[in-house]
């Protein structure tokens, strides 16, 4: 059997998440408050200022809750996984689980990542449902507006997220509807994440990461950028590239599903990744 832990990213956050974990792990809760400069418990459990949905707050909150969830599962008897992977932000928790850095160091990086990504405005994202990824790319290539839009997340065979200028996303909606897409859903996000329009923060984040030292993963980590295992000496480069490149989640899951007797455990709030896995498996039957 291959035990595989998956860590979710933005979109899995929910008010009340982690409520049972903060008292259990006072040390990491205190570390989080120190690094962030505010109460992580208050943000996650009460969200009194309606900040949990803002990128600069969402990313640290999810990183902390994912990490605490994984720690609790290990303390409750779960074996060390054979592989780990995380969707976008969740990749930091996968690298934490693999021993590439400690909890507080990872949170410092996530805090800055969220801040930088939260500064980008002027674009958006949309989910394209019921169309194969290859066909989506063909539709985008067929118009001037489409050529300014990138595929941001290859999530499943039937669900892909695209990103780009809002006006172009509005224009290509008609193209997708004419091509027979089942649903075209604009997402409530502030920027075109994981696209060419994130290259400036990608370069700035790469410079920021140069202040950190990374250990090689002691557990295989599957990268969003490649859909394959991290190279031990390329953690910094891969993390910076992740911001401005597509999340190859479908490719990552197909790779992991080919491991001997794979058993998947989602470590974080909600079941977004588990549902994606069900959808991928359904298409393979």
Stretch 6-15: mean pLDDT, rounded? 95
Residue 91 has pLDDT above 90, yes or no: yes
Average pLDDT, the chain: 96
Give me the percent of the chain exceeding a pLDDT of 70.
100
Measure the CA angle with vertex 189, ends 185 and 194; round to 5°: 90
- Residue 165 has a pLDDT of 96
Q: Which of 12, 88, 195, 246 is catalytic?
A: 88
**In the annotation, is 167 catalytic?**
no
**In the annotation, is 194 catalytic?**
yes
CATH of domain 123-186: 3.30.70.250
Stretch 40-52: mean pLDDT, rounded? 97
Q: Which CATH code, of 3.90.1150.10, 3.40.50.620, 3.40.640.10, 3.40.366.10, is assigned to 2-119+196-284? A: 3.40.366.10
Beta bridge pairs of residue 160: 128, 154
- Residue 233 has a pLDDT of 85
Q: Which of 194, 240, 246, 252 is catalytic?
A: 194
d(CA 191, CA 205): 16
- In SS3 terms, 109-144 reads as HHHHHHHHHHCCCCEEEEEEECCCHHHHHHHHHCCC
Residue 199 tokens, joined: 């290259």
pTM above 0.85, yes or no: yes
- Residue 251 has a pLDDT of 98
- Residue 231 has a pLDDT of 86
Q: How far apart are the first and last CA of the chain?
A: 21
- Residue 144 has a pLDDT of 97
Angstrom CA distances, 259 to 97, 157, 214, stand at 19, 20, 26
Task: Please write the tens of the pLDDT for every residue from 53-78.
Answer: 999 999 999 999 999 999 999 999 99
Task: Please write the tens of the pLDDT for every residue from 116-172.
Answer: 998 888 899 999 999 999 999 999 999 999 999 999 999 999 999 999 999 999 999
- Residue 118 has a pLDDT of 87
- Residue 141 has a pLDDT of 97
Helices then strands, each counted (H, E), the chain = 11, 8
Q: For CATH 3.40.366.10, list the domain ranges present in the chain.
A: 2-119+196-284
Query: pLDDT band at residue 31, thresholds of 50, 70 and 90?
Result: very high
Task: Please write the tens of the pLDDT for every residue from 187-236.
Answer: 988 889 999 999 999 999 999 999 999 999 999 999 999 999 998 789 99
Task: Please write the tens of the pLDDT for every residue from 240-271.
Answer: 999 999 999 999 999 999 999 999 999 999 99
Query: pLDDT band at residue 40, thresholds of 50, 70 and 90?
Result: very high
Provide CB contacts within 8 A for 284, sequence distance 6+: 257
Q: For CATH 3.30.70.250, list the domain ranges present in the chain.
A: 123-186
d(CA 159, CA 212): 35
- Residue 285 has a pLDDT of 80
- Residue 122 has a pLDDT of 83
What kind and span of H or E run contains 254? helix 249-257
């Amino acid at each position: 059997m291959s035990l595989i832990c998956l860590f979710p990213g933005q979109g899995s956050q929910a008010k009340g998440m982690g409520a049972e974990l903060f008292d259990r792990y006072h040390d990491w809760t205190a570390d989080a408050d120190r690094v962030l400069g505010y109460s992580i418990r208050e943000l996650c459990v009460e969200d009194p200022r309606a900040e949990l949905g803002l990128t600069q707050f969402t990313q640290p909150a999810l990183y902390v809750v994912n990490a605490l969830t994984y720690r609790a599962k290990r303390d409750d008897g779960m074996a060390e996984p054979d592989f780990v992977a995380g969707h976008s932000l969740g990749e930091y928790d996968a690298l934490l689980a693999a021993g590439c850095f400690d909890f507080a160091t990872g949170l410092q990086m996530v805090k800055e990542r969220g801040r930088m990504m939260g500064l980008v405005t002027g674009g958006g994202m949309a989910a394209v449902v019921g169309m194969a990824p290859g066909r989506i790319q063909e539709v985008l290539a067929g118009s001037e507006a489409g050529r300014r839009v990138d595929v941001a997340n290859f999530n499943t065979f039937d669900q892909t997220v695209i990103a780009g200028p809002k006006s172009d996303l509005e224009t290509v909606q008609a193209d997708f509807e004419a091509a027979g897409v089942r649903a075209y859903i604009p997402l409530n996000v502030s920027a075109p994440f994981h696209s060419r329009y994130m290259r400036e923060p990608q370069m700035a984040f790469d410079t920021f990461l140069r202040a950190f030292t990374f250990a090689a993963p002691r557990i295989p980590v599957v990268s969003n950028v490649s859909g394959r295992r991290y190279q031990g000496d390329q953690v910094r480069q891969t993390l910076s590239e992740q911001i401005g490149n597509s999340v190859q989640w479908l490719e990552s899951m197909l790779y992991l599903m080919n491991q001997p007797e794979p058993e998947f455990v989602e470590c974080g709030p909600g079941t977004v990744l588990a549902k994606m896995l069900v959808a991928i498996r359904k298409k393979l039957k």
